[in-house]
Amino acid sequence: MKIVEFDDKGRRVESDPGSVPRKAAASALAPRPVFARSDAAAHQSQPRRRGASSGIELHMFQTGTLRTKLKYIKMNQGESDFEIPVPWFLIKHPLGNVVIDGGNAIEAAIDKRGHWGAVVDAYDPVMAIADNCVDQCKSVGVDPHNVRYVLQSHLHLDHTGALGHFPKVQYVVHRVEYDYAFNPHWFSKGAYIRADFDRPGLDWKFLGGEYTDHFDLYGDGTIRTIFTPGHSPGHQSFLITLPNSGPILLTIDAAYTVDHWNNLALPGLVVSSADAANSVAKLRRIAETTGATVVTGHDPVTWETFRKAPNDFYD
Ligand SMILES: [Zn+2]
Ligand SMILES: [Zn+2]
C-alpha cells in the first residue's frame, strides 16, 4: 500500500508504509495523544514569523480536538479510540477578511453536553474557552468587526463556531446544506445543532444553481468553492490560491483524513457514499490539475505538518 501526500510545493510524495516515519504509520491505526494543547504551547514559544507578506494570508487554526472512535471517522473500521483536530481557517484579503467554518462553537467549551447533547458520547470536544474563533482572530490582529464573510463548508457541529459571532458578516452556505440542516435524516441529526445556525439576524448568502460550483468569492481567483456532497448534502470544499504559496485545497470533510483521500475509507458519517466517493475523485482531479497542496479535514497526522496560527501562515 502506498501513501500519497503533498509537500509544501504541492508535489506528490509517495512512500511505502515501511519508509513512513514510525509515528505516522502507527498513528493511522492507533489512538493518538492530545496534541492540541502541547502544540499550542510549542507554537507560543516560537518566534513570530518575520518578513513581508504578499498581503493575502491563509491562517490555519483549530478549536481543540474531538475524542471519538475510529468507526465514527472511518466507516466500519472498529472501536479503537481516535482523536482528531478541529481545524478552521482565516484568510486576510485586501477586499475583506474571510473566516472558513470557525470550528466548534464556544458553548462546546463551556457546557458541551448542554449544547451538543448526547452526541458528546460519540464526539467529545476537548476545547478551551480561549480556543473560540473570535478570540483566535484577535490573536492575529483581526477584529471581529473587520470580517466580511464567513464561508460554511457545511453545518455540522464542529464547523459552526463562527455563526452569530461576527457582527458585520455575510454567512455563505450552500442552499441544500442550509435546508437539510433544519430537516436532517435520523442518522445525521446529532451532527446539527440548531441553536448554532437558527439564530435571528444572521445575514445569509445562499449558493446554488449556477453558483453551486467554483464560485469565486472576490472574483480574483483567491477563494473558490467546490461543491463536494456526500458527507453532507450541501458540502463545499475550498481552493485557496495564494501569491507565494500557490494553490491550497481545503477538502474539509469531503476527505476527513489521508485515508479518505486515498480511497481507503468512507466517512463514518455520510448521506451518500456514492456522492462522497465522487467528490473525492473530483477533488483529486483538481489537485492533479492545479498541483495544489492538499489539507484534509481532520487528519491528526498531516495537520501537525502545516504552518499554524498564530505564529505562522501561508501567503
Ligand atoms: Zn462534517
Ligand atoms: Zn468536521
Ligand nearest to the CA of 158: 2
Residue of higher predicted confidence among 13 and 171: 171
DSSP 47: P
Kindly tell me the number of DSSP H helices and DSSP E strands found in the chain. Answer: 10, 13
C-alpha 86 to ligand 2 mean position (Å) = 7
C-alpha 152 to ligand 1 mean position (Å) = 11
C-alpha 46 to ligand 1 mean position (Å) = 32
Residue 100's closest CA among 185, 4, 169, 190? Answer: 169
C-alpha 156 to ligand 1 mean position (Å) = 5
Give dist(CA 22, CA 5) in Å, integer: 16
Residue 307's closest CA among 106, 39, 77? Answer: 39
- As a whole number, mean pLDDT of residues 56-63 equals 98
pLDDT above 90 for 300: yes
pLDDT tens digits, one per residue of 221-240: 999 999 999 999 999 999 99
Ligand nearest to the CA of 65: 2
Residue 2's closest CA among 257, 262, 261? Answer: 262
C-alpha 252 to ligand 2 mean position (Å) = 7
- As a whole number, mean pLDDT of residues 65-83 equals 96
Residue 212 corresponds to which cell in the numbers above? 453551486
Residue 11 corresponds to which cell in the numbers above? 508535489
* Residue at grid coordinates 478552521: 88
C-alpha 159 to ligand 1 mean position (Å) = 7
Residue 151 corresponds to which cell in the numbers above? 464561508
Reported as a pLDDT band with limits 50, 70 and 90, residue 47 is low
- The burial of 47, by beta-carbon neighbours within 10 Å (0-12 exposed, 13-18 middle, 19 or more buried), is given as exposed
Ligand nearest to the CA of 125: 2
pLDDT at res. 26: 32
- As a whole number, mean pLDDT of residues 25-41 equals 33
C-alpha 298 to ligand 2 mean position (Å) = 7
pLDDT at res. 46: 54
C-alpha 267 to ligand 2 mean position (Å) = 10
pLDDT above 70 for 4: no
pLDDT at res. 35: 29
- As a whole number, mean pLDDT of residues 205-223 equals 96
Ligand nearest to the CA of 191: 1
Element (H, E) at 86: strand 81-92
pLDDT above 90 for 307: yes
Buried-exposed string 191-225: b where 16+ CB fall within 10 A, e elsewhere: bbbeebbeeeeeeeebbbeebbeebebbeeebbbb
Mean pLDDT of the chain: 88
pLDDT above 60 for 280: yes
C-alpha 286 to ligand 1 mean position (Å) = 21
pLDDT above 50 for 151: yes
pLDDT above 50 for 270: yes
Residue 284 corresponds to which cell in the numbers above? 483529486
Reported as a pLDDT band with limits 50, 70 and 90, residue 51 is confident
Residue 153's closest CA among 145, 166, 162, 144? Answer: 162
* Residue at grid coordinates 466507516: 75
Residue 213's closest CA among 196, 226, 232? Answer: 226
- As a whole number, mean pLDDT of residues 205-221 equals 95
* C-alpha pair distances (Å), 275 with each of 124, 175, 190: 27, 17, 21
Give the helix ranges, DSSP H, for the chain: 22-27, 36-44, 70-73, 107-110, 112-116, 133-138, 175-182, 194-197, 258-261, 273-290
C-alpha 154 to ligand 1 mean position (Å) = 7
- As a whole number, mean pLDDT of residues 281-297 equals 98
Ligand nearest to the CA of 88: 2
pLDDT at res. 52: 84
pLDDT above 60 for 286: yes
pLDDT at res. 276: 98
How remote is the C-alpha of 299 from its chain's centroid? 10
C-alpha 252 to ligand 1 mean position (Å) = 8
C-alpha 18 to ligand 1 mean position (Å) = 31
Give dist(CA 262, CA 27) in Å, integer: 16
* Residue at grid coordinates 493511522: 28
C-alpha 33 to ligand 1 mean position (Å) = 22
Ligand nearest to the CA of 84: 2
pLDDT above 60 for 8: no
The highest-confidence range among 27-31, 210-214, 221-225, by mean pLDDT, is 221-225
Range in 1-15, 29-43, 74-88, 190-204 with the lowest mean pLDDT:
29-43
Percent of the chain with pLDDT over 90: 83
pLDDT above 60 for 194: yes
pLDDT above 70 for 7: no
Question: Do residues 249 and 239 make contact, with C-beta atoms less than 8 angstroms apart?
Answer: yes
pLDDT at res. 16: 44
Compute and round to an integer the Cα radius of gyration of the chain: 18
